[in-house]
Chains A and B, each alone.
Chain A
């Protein structure tokens, strides 16, 4: 079974730009969650999508948004980038029907904002 795939793996942007990250979940998984990992704050929950609907949202500003497509693939977007948005963005998938917290993570997209 293929794992969670995230693209791009690395990207560099400048302040004020926007970025879109993509995530393909494990086949059959309907829930996709996004996390931000930084050295100072650790892993923080951004949002979760299930069946194309946002089911849960973390405490991030509205510049962070996401969506999920009918094939369960998900994208997250960050607009008006700030230096503090530099982080590893991790996508995780799960079947979505039993919320035990067992997630399958991708390798992440490393975003650097200059």
Chain B
């Protein structure tokens, strides 16, 4: 049973517009949520995270929103750039699990110029 789900395998956006990537989770014990970005032939790269005690975290063009009651988080990229084209993974961890992240299967973002 998938504890972290990214229901959209792909997303296409025009340069300059907003990209919204979504993620749902089922485990109420998750207390840390992260987004990773992956380019082909490279390992995932940490992008942004949010603790369960917050509902928003912002870093430049990237903002993550957490809705605990809905068990939903989203990543907003504004404005989107062609270099943002990659696979985005949502991940979660629970308590002392630390580096034992549970990953979603990823959403491929394509930003066209």
Contact = CB atoms under 8 A, between A and B. Distances in A.
Given A102-B34, A107-B43, A92 B104 contact: no
A66 B96 CA distance: 20
B43 A106 contact: yes
B25 to A, nearest CB: 13
Interface string B33-56: 010100001111110010000000
Contacts, number: 67
A35 B102 CA distance: 10
Say which size band chain A's interface belongs to. Answer: 20 to 34
Given A31-B99, A48-B98, A42 B43 contact: no
A101 B34 CA distance: 7
B101 interface: yes
Interface SS of chain A: helix, strand, loop or mixed?
strand
A19 interface: no
A43 B97 CA distance: 16
Of listed A45, A55, A90, residue having the most chain B CB within 10 A: A45
A101 B101 contact: yes
Contacts of A94: 99
A93 to B, nearest CB: 9
A58 to B, nearest CB: 7
Contacts of A55: 98
A105 B89 CA distance: 13
A103 to B, nearest CB: 6
B42 A56 contact: no
